[in-house]
Amino acid sequence: MKTLGEFIIEKQHEFPHATGELSALLSAIKLGAKIINRDINKAGLVDIIGANGSSNIQGETQMKLDVFANETLKAALEARGVVAGIASEEEDELVIFGNDKACHAKYVVLMDPLDGSSNIDVNVSVGTIFSIYHRVTPIGEPISEKDFLQPGHQQVAAGYIIYGSSTMLVYTTGCGVHAFTYDPSIGVFCLSHENVQFPKFGNIYSINEGFYWKFPVGVKKYIKYCQEEDAKTKRPYTSRYIGSLVSDFHRNLLKGGIYIYPNTAQYSKGKLRLLYECNPIAFLAEQAGGKASDGFNRVLEINPTELHQRSPFFVGVKSMVEDAEKFMEEFKDL
């Protein structure tokens, strides 16, 4: 049984210029995930569920576990001294780490500390999403927003932790997607899925159909296409929607499907955050043979202009995303 730590060390040869910092960074995320996992499993026994009484910069109600997960990961990353700073969905501004080591660190991390946190109260799977970049400011100088406003194709690594019936850490460094399942009896993540790939064909579509009448025409047409019977393309597809990006993406990655969160009248630019959600998931999707789009363009090519930028998001089996893009293009003017 190969552990996450052993696997990371084994793969270091794929990065001839690495000097151990990336391994230490991933180990810090692993530690944070263990602590978050422990407290999530106490939900209902201690006072960590429900709203925190405050809102994040997007105006969304913060859950107590949002704040806890954010502080846990922030502390774990700062303690290692290999990260210059972070940007988080739960922070208004970027956070610059002040210790001496951090000033010379070459990585920055962006994260959604607890995706789908509103599901905690009803015992539904949630997750943590992370994205890692090389800083672009010179080593030794203070980092700035430009270190975080890089297109997704510049990511060094990305991944997520899903807290469900089992806890799994899934990540990529641009050399395939690998998944590790947490064994609480010995406190380690063990390799359970090496070089994960999307199935060639999928039959699941994941979208909140309650907002159907607010969707662009192209999305409505694609949904109808998914629901039509066609033996050749093995339709109709099955509708499955959990309401947590990590959970929906993880299922579709293993079983084959597409996840869609389009723009609506209320969210004209989409609702998901480009830097904390779309880019890392898109990197994973492409490494697993899938595709990620904003409906028209490759997500990883988008040049971000602000930390909390939003984007429509279509991700999953390549052929399914391409079908959705065809409908978006055909009906873009309606």
Binding residue positions: 89, 112, 114-118, 208, 241, 271, 277
The Cα 125–Cα 131 span in angstroms is 20
The Cα 118–Cα 311 span in angstroms is 21
Residue numbers in the known binding site for substrate are 115-118, 208, 241, 271
Query: What DSSP state is assigned to residue 140?
Result: T
The Cα 261–Cα 263 span in angstroms is 7
Peptide bond into 236 cis (omega under 30): yes
Burial 4-39 (b: 16+ CB within 10 A, else e): beebbeebeeeeeeeeebbbbbbbbbbbbbbebbeb
Structure tokens at 74: 């922030």
> Does residue 114 contact residue 126 with C-beta atoms inside 8 Å?
yes
Query: What DSSP state is assigned to residue 20?
Result: S
Query: Taking each helix axis from N to C terminus, what angle separates 279-287 and 245-255, rounded to the nearest 10 degrees?
Result: 10
The CA R_g of the chain, rounded to the nearest whole Å, is 19
Q: Which residue has the tokens 């641009």?
A: 174
Three-point CA angle 301, 14, 183, nearest 5°: 95
Burial 313-332 (b: 16+ CB within 10 A, else e): bbbbbbbbbebbbebbeeee
Q: Which residue has the tokens 């990511």?
A: 155
Query: What DSSP state is assigned to residue 237?
Result: P
Residue numbers in the known binding site for Mg(2+) are 89, 112, 114-115, 277
- From residue 177, how far is each of 65, 167, 212, 289 by CA, in Å? 27, 16, 33, 10
Q: What are phi and psi of 158, to 5 degrees?
A: -160, 160
If residue 238 lies in a helix (H) or strand (E), which one and from where to where? strand 238-239
The Cα 334–Cα 327 span in angstroms is 11
